[in-house]
Structure 1
Amino acid sequence: MIAEDSGMLRQMLVDLLTRHGFDVTGQASTKDDIVAQVDRDPPDAVLLDIRLPPGQSDEGLQAAALIRQRHPAVGLLVLSHYAETAYAFRLLQDGAGGVGYLVKDRVQDTDRLIDAIRRVAAGEVAVDPEVVHRLMFRRRTVDPLAQLTDSERDVLALLAEGLSNTAIADGLHISIKTVEKRLTAINQKLGLRTSGTERPDVNVRVLAVLTYLRSAPGTGTARM
């Protein structure tokens, strides 16, 4: 399902996703409408503009929170005009998978958009690389990444974007075993708890991004 108040952009998304084999089962232009449609017939994933009527502020995030509460298996991909860490924090703060945050310009990158939708529908996480870049290289008073090596940071940056272990290995030209070793080190150094979970890779990704967000300046308020 798609929630977007611009009829032109919404139709463009419907046409694009339909051409790539998706079944768009619902369209909405307001928060209340998309939540009601998901309640009636939950889809595999929902694509949400962050600003929806009536307030044109953060209704997309409000809708995402309601959908997650009522239908935790539904994947959520939020689109925003800004790579805003506060928005990403709110979306990811429950530590669960099946969520994504992309800057709206990524809609033009069909492969990235489709990959992100498929990831959240599969219970994984997709975070815009611009957000990851801001968090990885912003200077902080307290930097939770200071204890990581450069190679571990490289792995973590790709993990936060939503890449699989195989894709990380290919991107960094290292073995999957090396990726796994670095992930273990990251997990230990950041104190991320994933024992007893069914998808530890997804949970590490979410918790790692939250670690950045909690220590980054400006996460308390979002730019509007």
Structure 2
Amino acid sequence: MRVVVADDSLLVREGVRALLSDQDDLSVIGLAADHDELLSSVAQLSPDVVVTDICMPPTNTDEGVRAALALRASHPRVGVVVLSQYDDPAHSTALLQDGVAGRAYLLKERLAQPGQLADAVRAVAGGGSVIDPRIVETMLTARSRPAGSALRHLTARERQVLSEMATGANNSTIAERLFVTVRAVERHINSIFAKLGLAEEGETHRRVGAVLLYLAERD
């Protein structure tokens, strides 16, 4: 698998390259130091996966997330692993707003466990997802709700709908896959939100929250 690594720190870039290059099935084909250079490298090199820091120039705020969202539209088959120093739920919510397929969010401390980064790269390359357990815990704690406690109350059909939501599918796509009407999907989703205690939050946050609860139980 071909990987592009992006980080404004030369030390981190080279460290990640060394970690991944030790894996027989992974090859680092490009390095980038900022948001624009990352997108340019993807356009030129067509990697399978991008490993990027969340904060890079020009603003050093959320460039990694913005790059991941841009690549979802321009290069949907490219997996993205976002690395962050902090377990900020706002960043993880933004990253996952268009689905978790092909996306991973790991804390930089995981670099001390090389196998975790390599496994995340392989997972997103295959369309899977990896969310750092501490990030899931932080998001669930922020909602003051024990992980997975409400999922037991979902019906079998609601679990199917939630599983499809976790792929990033919209309501029309879910309806086609489950052979039901869009209105039926909407009713199931509203029921899911209510049972998970997400009824008071915005649409994007409710979908991400529901998916994170699903992933927490699955893992």
| Alignment size in residue pairs | 173
> 1:187 & 1:106 partners in 2: Cα distance?
36
Of 47, 51, 59, the match for 2:51:
47
Please give the secondary structure, in 1, of the residue aligned with 2:99.
Answer: coil
The match for 2:35 is 31
The match for 1:172 is none
Deviates more, 1:54-63 or 1:123-132: 54-63
Task: Note closer, same or farther for the CA distance 1:18–1:189 as it changes in structure 2 (3 Å cut).
Answer: closer
Of 66, 72, 79, the match for 2:70:
66
Of 141, 148, 151, the match for 1:148:
151
Please give the secondary structure, in 1, of the residue aligned with 2:86.
Answer: coil
The match for 1:201 is none
> 1:192 & 1:126 partners in 2: Cα distance?
17
TM-score, normalised to structure 1, is 0.67
**Residues 119-198 of structure 1 aligned to structure 2 (within 5 Å):** 119-140=123-144, 146-149=149-152, 188=158, 192=162, 194=164, 195=174, 196=176
The match for 1:6 is 9
> 2:67 & 2:82 partners in 1: Cα distance?
10
Identity, in percent, stands at 33
Structure 2 residues without counterparts, runs of 5 or longer: 165-173, 178-204, 214-219
Contact 1:14 1:24 (C-alpha < 8 Å) held by counterparts:
yes
What letter matches 1:18 in structure 2? S
Task: Note closer, same or farther for the CA distance 1:95–1:213 as it changes in structure 2 (3 Å cut).
Answer: closer
> How far apart are residue 211 of structure 1 and its match?
2.4
Task: Note closer, same or farther for the CA distance 1:212–1:84 as it changes in structure 2 (3 Å cut).
Answer: farther
Structure 1 runs of 4+ aligned residues shifted over 6 Å read none
> 2:74 & 2:91 partners in 1: Cα distance?
21
The match for 2:170 is none
Contact 1:144 1:190 (C-alpha < 8 Å) held by counterparts:
no
The match for 2:208 is 210
